[in-house]
Amino acid sequence: MLTKKQICDFEYLAVKIRADAVMMTNLQHSGHVGSSLSMADLLVVLFEKVLNVAPKNPKGPNRDRFILSKGHAAAGLYSIMAEKGFFPKDWLETYYCDNGKLCGHISHHVPGVEFSTGSLGHGLPVTVGMALDGKRKGKKHRVFCLMSDGDCNEGSTWEAIMLAAQHKLDNLVAIVDYNKVQALGFSKDVINLEPFAEKMNLFGWAVKEIDGHNFEQILDSLSIIPFVKGKPSFLIAHTVKGKGISCMENTVASHYKCVADDKLEDAYKELGV
């Protein structure tokens, strides 16, 4: 159970991530703001309560490994990582800029970022390799992969899904920011992942399905890992693309766009900053 104070703190952080993502993607009018907005609440719980990572010792051997496979949502992840102290907060204002510290897709050149992605379907295979090695060496750390629904179109993702179950990698957790929107449309119209949970069960994973904007549910679902001993864990987090900014919510355009200059003030007002 989270206290009222904790929920309040989490909300504050989630708003901060969303406001940063809006600000950062607006800097050079880059895109993918909707992808950062949908995963903001997941990031808060992961970094506040779940991941064993140390901003001052980002390469510590016992750290939990966390890979953002939906690398286009870099702005959101950079925001919370700056907040946690992995790198100076003023780097955020250099996002996508000439000679900036942060590029449009997540990069391992940034302290604390485990792995660079940007092309979908790359995150899960790498986490499977890490989890396999951790298991064979009897390590206690866990390996997390935060994916998008678009990620689950890629054949390489399914190759990794099959292998993780085959080798009972119960130190591996895949989280899908299931915002139901991908680059050219709604996922139900492009590649319908449903019945998603059932499918993943049949593929040999232990599955949980939650509201990805409910802090209690996120924390509850990730408080005990693995979900089932001997199986990799799959968390389907139902989210809303563009969450928190009405002109962006549940739109395909939010995959490509930023909040335009003339809408910025309204967006910040809506977020409450």
Partner 1 sequence: MRSVFNKTLLEIAKKDKRINMVLADIGYGEIEPFAQAFPDRFINVGVAEQNMTGVACGIAMEGNIAITYSIANFPTLRCLEQIRNDVCYHNVNVKIVIIGGGLAYGALGVSHQSTEDLAIMRALPDMVVVAPADFVEAEAATYAMIEHQGPVYYRCGYKKEPPLHQGRIDFKFGKGLIAKEGKDITLIGTGTITYHAYQAAELLKKQGINARVVSMHTVKPIDKDLIIDCAKNTGGIVTVEEHQITGGLGGAVAEVLSEAGVSIPFKRIGLQDSYVHIVGSHDWLLDKFGFSPENIAKTAKGLIK
Q: Are 271 and 19 in contact (CB under 8 A)?
A: yes
Shortest distance in whole angstroms from residue 174 CB to partner 1: 14
For 233, phi then psi, to 5°, come to -100, 135
Q: Between 85 and 129, name the residue whose CB sits nearer to partner 1.
A: 129
One of 25, 36, 117, 148 touching Mg ion (CB under 5 A): 148
Q: Say how many Å lie between the first and final Cα of the chain, rounded.
A: 27
Among partner 1, Mg ion, none, what binds residue 148 when CB lies within 5 to 8 Å by partner kind? Mg ion
Among Mg ion, partner 1, none, what binds residue 119 when CB lies within 5 to 8 Å by partner kind? partner 1
CA 202 to CA 244: how far, in whole Å? 34
Residue ranges with strand state E in 32-142: 65-68
What is the DSSP secondary structure assignment for residue 64, as one 8-state letter? Answer: P
- Count of chain residues binding partner 1 (CB under 8 A): 28
Q: Are 45 and 80 in contact (CB under 8 A)?
A: no
Candidates 90-98, 153-161, 199-207, 223-231; binding stretch for partner 1 (CB under 8 A): 153-161
Among Mg ion, partner 1, none, what binds residue 155 when CB lies within 5 to 8 Å by partner kind? partner 1
Q: Token pair for residue 127?
A: 């986490």
Kind of pairing between the strands at 143-148 and 65-68: parallel
Q: Between 40 and 128, name the residue whose CB sits nearer to partner 1.
A: 128
Shortest distance in whole angstroms from residue 58 CB to Mg ion: 28
Shortest distance in whole angstroms from residue 223 CB to partner 1: 25
DSSP 135-148: HHTT----EEEEEE
Shortest distance in whole angstroms from residue 7 CB to Mg ion: 26
Interface pattern 99-138 for partner 1 (x via CB under 8 A): ---------x------xxxxx-xx-xxxxxxxxxxx-x--
149 binds Mg ion per the rule CB under 5 A: yes
Q: Which residues pair with 181 in a beta bridge?
A: 186
Shortest distance in whole angstroms from residue 105 CB to partner 1: 10
Work out whether the CA dihedral 246, 175, 114, 225 comes out positive or negative: positive
Q: What angle do CA 237, 8, 218 make, to 5 degrees?
A: 20
36 binds partner 1 per the rule CB under 8 A: no
Residue ranges with strand state E in 128-265: 143-148, 172-178, 181-182, 185-186, 206-211, 233-238
Among partner 1, Mg ion, none, what binds residue 179 when CB lies within 5 to 8 Å by partner kind? Mg ion
Q: Between 83 and 154, name the residue whose CB sits nearer to partner 1.
A: 154
What is the torsion angle, in degrees rounded to the nearest 10, for the CA atoms of residue 180, residue 43, residue 219 and residue 130?
90
36 binds Mg ion per the rule CB under 5 A: no
**Site residues, partner 1 (CB under 8 A):** 108, 115-119, 121-122, 124-134, 136, 155-156, 159-160, 162-163, 166-167
**Site residues, Mg ion (CB under 5 A):** 148-149, 179, 181-182
